[in-house]
Amino acid sequence: MNAIISASELAAELAGGDPPVLLDVRWQLSTAAAAGEPPFDGRAAYRDGHLPGAVFIDLDRELAAAPAGRGRHPLPDPEEFGAAMRRAGVSAGTPVVVYDGGMGWAAARAWWLLRWTGHPDVRVLDGGLPSWDGPLETAQPEPAEGDFVPAWGAAGLLDADGAAALARSGVLLDARAGERYRGEVEPIDPVGGHIPGAVSAPTTENVGPDGRFLPAGELATRFRELGASTDKQVGVYCGSGVSGAHEVLALAVAGIPADLYVGSWSEWSSDPERPVAVGPDPQ
């Protein structure tokens, strides 16, 4: 099953007899709060217009728990996550399509969580809302309660120790911007740099100017040049487990399975005992 869906394919499925559940996960990484400015309001953007039938999902409240030393976006409480998905109409036997405002990071976080907890059919709208040229609506739907019960597990998930080990034994990709990887700038976390042994692989290079993913073959070539392939265990981290999920999605499009270190750099850098590498060299 493909992990992404085009706008034209989605329009056809919505017009068919088995339409997918639509989740709107508009969110932006914002440093506005540090400057005393109001952060991006995804719910307000949703109210202004969304895909017909889509239900808004709050990334910070429903796809993550409150920060408590485990990074800025730790895993959500299993019961709360399951309840949020069921309120949105998500059932185990119904396909789900997730979209956001175009970057794909937030949608990928929802995709990863649903897939990781056992949903068999989840896709991300390639290019997000900007790719959609159909009608929008402002009414808030009231879907029937779904039956999805997330199955929490360990497979596909890395903690700090696991990420450190994978950087030595396999391939650990750092999905943040190159300047953050090199430690030249760090706008959010207390320390700049990267996990020793991790390879710089900015997730922004997985998409074209329109925000859509590069073709699968091009992605496979990119990741192969970075050392990632189906022959090795691959892991990904970012700042807080959001853009890293987008890189896991890009790897899935390329046919390469990968694990996610959800705590990511926000968790790693909060512990002064953990080593930090700087500069372009992984070590």
Helix H segments across 97-144?
105-116
Mutual orientation of helices 243-253 and 216-225 as an angle, nearest 10°? 110
* Buried-exposed string 235-257: b where 16+ CB fall within 10 A, e elsewhere: bbbbbbbbbbbbbbbbbbbbebe
- Among residues 172, 201, 238, 242, the one annotated as catalytic is 238
What pLDDT is stored for residue 154 in this prediction? 80
| Residue from 121, 161, 187 nearest 267 by CA | 161
Model pLDDT, residue 155: 86
Q: What is the DSSP string of 170-181?
A: SEEEE-S-HHHH
Per-residue pLDDT of the chain (283 residues; tens, 9 = 90+): 699 999 999 999 999 888 999 999 999 876 555 556 677 788 999 999 999 999 999 999 999 998 877 889 999 999 999 999 999 999 999 999 999 999 899 999 999 999 999 999 999 999 999 999 999 999 999 999 999 999 998 889 999 999 999 999 999 999 999 999 999 999 889 899 999 999 999 999 999 999 999 999 999 999 999 999 999 999 999 999 999 999 999 999 999 999 999 999 999 999 999 999 999 999 8
Would you state the pLDDT for residue 204? 96
Sign of CA dihedral 6, 251, 92, 128: negative
Whether 73 and 108 have beta carbons less than 8 Å apart is answered as no
**Could you tell me which of 235, 146, 151 has the C-alpha nearest to residue 198?**
235
In this predicted structure, what is the pLDDT of residue 31? 55
The two structure tokens encoding residue 67: 């920060």
What pLDDT shows up at residue 33? 53
Residue ranges of the alpha helices (H) in 89-159?
105-116
Active site residue 238: yes
- Residue count of the chain: 283
pLDDT value, residue 153: 87
Query: pTM value?
Result: 0.95
